[in-house]
Structure 1
Amino acid sequence: MWLPDETFKSVIQHTPLISIDLIVRNEDGEVLLGKRVNAPAKGYWFVPGGRVRKNETLDDAFVRLVKEELGIESGITRADAKFLGVYEHFYDDCVFGDDIGTHYIVLGYEIQLVEITVLKGSIKQHSCYKWWCIPDFLKSKDIHDFTKKYFKF
């Protein structure tokens, strides 16, 4: 469902957004991260994911996000993923600027890609994608702290 910018800005200002984060691992245990082009978290490496839309089931949102964020149409479903838990992300800015903050309620799901292909992910949210070794990205200042929290046990 599409909302005019002013309506969506009001939603961000007054309510938390529900989203799904995709923690994507390959056969070598590396994790896929995208370089964010939009606020919040602009300029940071972050896991793929996105908002759940009004009247969209979690199952439908999951399939849509796998397709939109990763470019995969192979039928990966929420039932194929490992649920990692519920997380909260608070940002001082939003896609419309830094005059209001963003609050996300995030459902984290881990999936494994058995056969690595060239991913054709979202150019709206990420300028590029990269596979990262967990010890390397836990040390990096370019990886957003909310992404690192999925891997700190």
Structure 2
Amino acid sequence: MKFKRLPFKEFMEIYRKVPRAAVDVIVVSKKGFLLTKRAIPPFKGMWHIPGGTILFMESVKHAINRITKEELGIKLKG
């Protein structure tokens, strides 16, 4: 589903004022699970589980796929 994003300034004005849903992505293998170091504040440089906000009109599945691609460079199957 394609949708137009708000300008960043307008998005941040709304973002600070309303509750929002988010997803975290846990990638598991036989060796353990994947952590990444945050590239942005808050907690820049600290270990974390990749995740992010579910965007307006976005399904949970699409958010998981988008975040996995954006943060890890991994395209999920299915």
> Scaled by the length of structure 2, what TM-score is found?
0.75
> CA separation of 1:31/1:15 partners in 2, compared to 1, >3 Å: closer, same or farther?
same
The answer (yes or no) to whether the contact 2:28–2:34 under 8 Å persists in 1 is yes
Size of the aligned set, in residue pairs, is: 75
Q: For residues 95-151 of structure 1, give each alpha carbon's deviation from its aligned partner in whole angstroms, at most 9, with x where no partner exists.
A: xxxxxxxxxxxxxxxxxxxxxxxxxxxxxxxxxxxxxxxxxxxxxxxxxxxxxxxxx
Structure richer in strand, relative to its length: 1
Higher relative contact order (CA 8 A, sep 6+): 1
Larger radius of gyration, structure 1 or 2? 1
The sequence identity of aligned pairs, in percent, is: 36
CA distance in 2, matches of 1:56, 1:20: 12
> Scaled by the length of structure 1, what TM-score is found?
0.43
Q: Which blocks of at least 5 consecutive residues in structure 1 are unaligned? A: 78-153
Find the partner of 1:7 among 1, 5, 10.
Answer: 10
Calculate the aligned-residue CA RMSD, in Å. 1.8
Please name the residue that 1:37 is paired with.
Answer: 39
CA distance in 2, matches of 1:73, 1:10: 31
